[in-house]
A and B are shown apart, each in its own frame.
Chain A
Amino acid sequence: MAAASNATSLESAPRILRLVAECSRSRARAGELRLPHGPVATPVFMPVGTQATMKGITAEQLDALGCRICLGNTYHLGLRPGPELIQKAQGLHGFMNWPHNLLTDSGGFQMVSLVSLSEVTEEGVRFRSPYDGDETLLSPERSVEIQNALGSDIIMQLDDVVSSTVTGPRVEEAMYRSIRWLDRCIAAHRRQDKQNLFAIIQGGLDADLRAACLEEMTKRDVPGFAIGGLSGGESKDQFWRMVALSTSRLPKDKPRYLMGVGYATDLVVCVALGCDMFDCVFPTRTARFGSALVPTGNLQLKKKQFQKDFRPIDPKCACPTCQKHSRAFLHALLHSDNTAALHHLTVHNIAYQLQLMGALRASIMEKRFPEFVRDFMDTMYGDPTLYPTWATEALASVGISLT
């Protein structure tokens, strides 16, 4: 199967992103995604609901927070409960009763995170299920087939993922294979009218490889592009440069989805670098460890210092947790075995992320994005000498100075 000749096998992909505003200094953009289950304002943070649930919060609570797109994992759902059952349940939307948009990843990342259980060949990834020991082959075709059954609004190509700390020929092999797998995914995709297939740019931390990948993949007329293979163990310095390189070569009129990024500073910087969509388990996972996200960092609410702190997590936060509860109560509840404590924090942390993205978007639309960035950094780090160097440099590279 020749790679380049399949470039036109996908009919002209829909332009799902409508740009509404652009920062005149940096690469930041505000827009609106038009997806089968409704519009989504960008830049957007997508919470991760791995196994058809946003952990302890209901679909109604997630909707009430303003979330209009969240993630599901093909690897997990493909094993439990399996695509056939989900299809019987009217797709993933029907199964979990989520009325808004869903994005499913391909299962590729689990290759890295669960590497002891997997083996990669040109065919696909052979996994041994941790649940019943059964072997499954996740090929590009199979991944798309499962995602077609799930019915998510955005589906991801199966990519050959290597950890960002890996160097040498394996990185190049994975990059070229990802291109070939992209073409196989495009060919296998049965529901182009209902589901948007995104490509994933690979190439590790090697600028040449990444550039080569960008050149090839952008020849394929997919509705959107993800920047993959980052947000692993690499240095932030290398990270931002790869993001910047990618956004400089990706088409402006298609969404740029930076996978696995969710720390507040990273979101702000990468919006400046021209990314539109983000996902990360961090905010929801850290909630379940008792950590609440705030504009100055985070509060480890289990700690004794919060025992008699009768203020809400953030007096400026509009979420239900902050409207009703104090740090002191949450502290007490976190020390009990009542799971409600975790849910209160999950609600708040998702609200924090969505409120941050909303504020970023408003600042772009109101032509004060660089100012917003400066205020954000000041609030988060206080002293300019404490600003992370990588962030200062990354922002400077797109015309935003922090001094």
Chain B
Amino acid sequence: MKLSLTKVVNGCRLGKIKNLGKTGDRTMDIPGCLLYTKTGSAPHLTHHTLHSIHGVPAMAQLTLSSLAEYHEVLTEYKEGVGKFIGMPESLLYCSLHDPVSPCPAGYVTNKSVSVWGVGGRVEMTASKFMAIQQALQPDWFQCLSDGEASCAEASSIKRARKSVDRSLLFLDHCLRLQEESEVLQKSTIIGVIEGGDVMEERLRSARETAKRPVGGFLLDGFQGNPTTLDARLDLLSSVTAELPEDKPRLICGVSLPDEVLECIERGVDLFESFFPYQVTERGGALTFSFDYQPNPEQTLLQQNGTQEEKQYVDQSKKMKTASGNQEMTSFEINLKEKKYREDFDPLVRGCSCYCCKNHTRAYIHHLLVTNELLAGVLLMIHNFEHYFGFFHSIREALKSDRLAQLKELIRRQAS
């Protein structure tokens, strides 16, 4: 694979990753996002409904937490997880954890990392981990790593150091195992940058990981609530400065539009797309505008009602944990509200998704009130399409040097 940068503007990298996939002919745009999945399927969506969405990313994110327990099944299947889940044409990235469910802390040892599936805890040594990857055969996978330095409220230097040491040991072990496996030659290991909130450790992690023959880097431990990311942005800049330019930088746990832009400005290339899923689960529809060069009237129309009606959301509110049950953001409207009962407009005027072309806010409201499954399907279609459209607009803005306008537009809607 080859990453070529078209331009770098204020720290933002615009480019393409070429020669991807088993046949080496696939391409990905950066900055970009990965399709979020649960147990190998986009949430709520079958192949038919998924492919009604415009702009679905070339690469999907699978989570080891949902698939590790099917190791035996996949080994017997032999043909790889892509075919197993019915997505043989998609590029696949396998992360350790599901960004929506937090990691129960305290289960990483010097020898193993654990993930939680429906059947319970799956403990993985480097050998077991690589055996599972051999059965999955993803295009990219996050290396076994210790991400717990950032789980606690305040990570100690000692814990931060351990997370870096362990992750490097895991990485070296996994690289050795990869050399011995013919099957895994075709998969790319993504090195994981750890180190908690300790600058020294973060830099060490970046420099040391960059010395290894990894295909890209995952910036772990920057997720949290909006205030924690804010506090970690300087750390992020320093980390990416240490990384080679010609390899992709992924970040986990960051998916909000304003945070995405902050991270792109600090050298991040790829993001997860779980935010549209979280919005869907609370009956919300993304309505934020990313149209950074409209006539001013249009921007206002696209937004959620008048200035007075816009909800003020306290950005410093802590995120609810467990099911990722965050507070509603100002990037969305809540279709459960009574005011949508007789609203026959589409979710977003001008949106070309299947939901907006075929259904009304009133109908979605009805589906939510009556607890019908179709609500999740239609909202997921819209929210994914809207979010993928946002990333497209980032690339377009970078191309035409208008990122500042887009950033201002998003910032205005973030509060």
B-contacting residues of A (Cβ < 8 Å)? 51-61, 64, 76, 80-81, 85, 88-89, 95-97, 307-308, 310, 320-321, 324-326, 328-329, 332-333, 335-344, 347
What is the size category of the interface that chain B forms with chain A? 35 or more
With contact pairs A52-B366, A96-B363, A329-B84 given, residues A347 and B73 touching in the complex (Cβ less than 8 Å): no
| CB <8 Å contact, A85 and B362 | yes
Choose from B43, B84, B378 the contact partner of A339 (Cβ within 8 Å): B43
A341: B residues at CB distance < 8 A: 41
When A and B form their complex, what is the total count of cross-chain residue pairs whose Cβ atoms lie within 8 Å? Answer: 122
A339/B376 contact (C-beta < 8 A), A60-B354, A61-B49 known: yes
Residue in B42, B354, B360, B370 with the greatest tally of chain A CB atoms within 10 Å? B370
In Å, the complex CA distance between A76 and B41 comes to 32
Interchain CB contact under 8 A, A81 and B366:
yes
Tell me whether B373 and A339 are in contact (CB under 8 A).
Answer: yes
With both beta carbons as reference points, the residue of chain A lying nearest to B76 in the complex is identified as: A308
Given contacts A85-B341, A308-B76, contact A58 B49 (CB under 8 A): yes
* A residues less than 8 Å from B72 (CB atoms): 308
Q: Which of B27-77 contact A (CB under 8 A)?
A: 38-49, 52, 66, 70, 72-73, 76-77
Q: What residues on A are CB-neighbors of B66 within 8 Å?
A: 336
Q: How far is the CA of A332 from the CA of B344 in the complex (A)?
A: 39
Q: With A58-B374, A88-B344, A97-B359 given, is the CB distance from A320 to B39 under 8 Å?
A: no
Partner of B366, one of A54, A58, A80, A335: A80
Residue among B40, B70, B72, B373 facing the most chain A CB atoms (10 A cut-off): B373
C-alpha spacing A52/B362, complex, angstroms: 12
Closest A residue, CB atoms, query B52: A60
Tell me the residues in window 77-110 of chain B with beta carbons closer than 8 Å to chain A beta carbons: 77, 84-86
* Residues A328 and B84 in contact, CB atoms below 8 Å apart: yes
In the bound assembly, the distance between CA atoms of A97 and B359 in angstroms comes to 7
B341–A81 touching, CB < 8 Å: yes
Asked if B374 and A340 make an inter-chain contact with CB atoms under 8 angstroms apart, the answer reads no
**A205: min CB distance to chain B, Å:** 34
How far is the CB of A54 from the nearest CB of chain B, in Å?
A: 8
Interchain CB contact under 8 A, A338 and B38: yes
Q: Which 10 A-B pairs have the closest CB atoms?
A: A56-B373, A336-B39, A53-B374, A324-B86, A338-B38, A340-B41, A51-B370, A81-B366, A53-B372, A97-B358
- Known interface pairs A58-B378, A60-B52, A335-B118; A340-B70 also in contact (CB < 8 Å): no
Q: Assuming A325-B86, A339-B376, what are 15 further A-B pairs, CB within 8 angstroms?
A: A51-B366, A51-B370, A51-B372, A58-B49, A58-B378, A60-B358, A80-B366, A96-B363, A320-B48, A321-B46, A329-B86, A332-B73, A335-B118, A340-B43, A343-B373
Q: How far is the CB of A303 from chain B (nearest CB, A)?
A: 14
Min CB distance A50 to B, Å, is 9
CA distance A159 to B85 in the complex (A): 48
In the complex, which of the residues B42, B46, B73, B85 has the most CB atoms of chain A within 10 Å of its own CB atom?
Answer: B46
A326 contacts B44, C-beta separation under 8 Å:
no
Residues A340 and B76 in contact, CB atoms below 8 Å apart: no
Query: At the interface, yes or no: B233 with Cβ under 8 Å from chain A?
Result: no
Determine if A338 and B39 form an interchain contact, defined as CB atoms under 8 angstroms apart. Answer: yes
Q: Which of B376-401 contact A (CB under 8 A)?
A: 376-378
Task: Tell me the complex Cα distance, A122–B373, Å.
Answer: 38
Residue of B whose beta carbon sits closest to that of A51: B370
Task: Let me know if B342 is at the binding interface, CB within 8 A.
Answer: yes
Q: Across the interface, do A340 and B44 meet the contact criterion of CB distance under 8 Å?
A: yes
B342 in complex: contacting residue of A61, A88, A333, CB < 8 Å = A88
| Chain A residues, Cβ within 8 Å of B409 | none
Asked if B367 is at the interface of the complex by the 8 Å CB criterion, the answer is yes
In angstroms, Cα B46 to Cα A89, docked, is 28
Chain A proximity of B56: nearest CB distance (Å): 15
Q: A59-B358, A329-B86, A343-B377 are in contact. Are A80 and B46 (CB under 8 A)?
A: no
Q: Is the CB of B342 within 8 A of A85?
A: yes
Least Cβ–Cβ distance between B341 and chain A, in angstroms: 7
Smallest CB separation, A5 vs chain B (Å): 42
Q: What separation, in Å, do the CA atoms of A56 and B66 have in the docked complex?
A: 22
CB neighbours of A61 from chain B (8 A): 46, 48-49
Whether B44 and A333, one on each chain, are in contact in the complex, defined by CB atoms closer than 8 angstroms, is no
The answer on a CB contact under 8 Å between B46 and A329 is no
Task: Tell whether, in the assembled complex, residue B118 and residue A56 are in contact, meaning their CB atoms are under 8 Å apart.
Answer: no
- By a CB distance below 8 angstroms, the chain B residues around A96 are 363
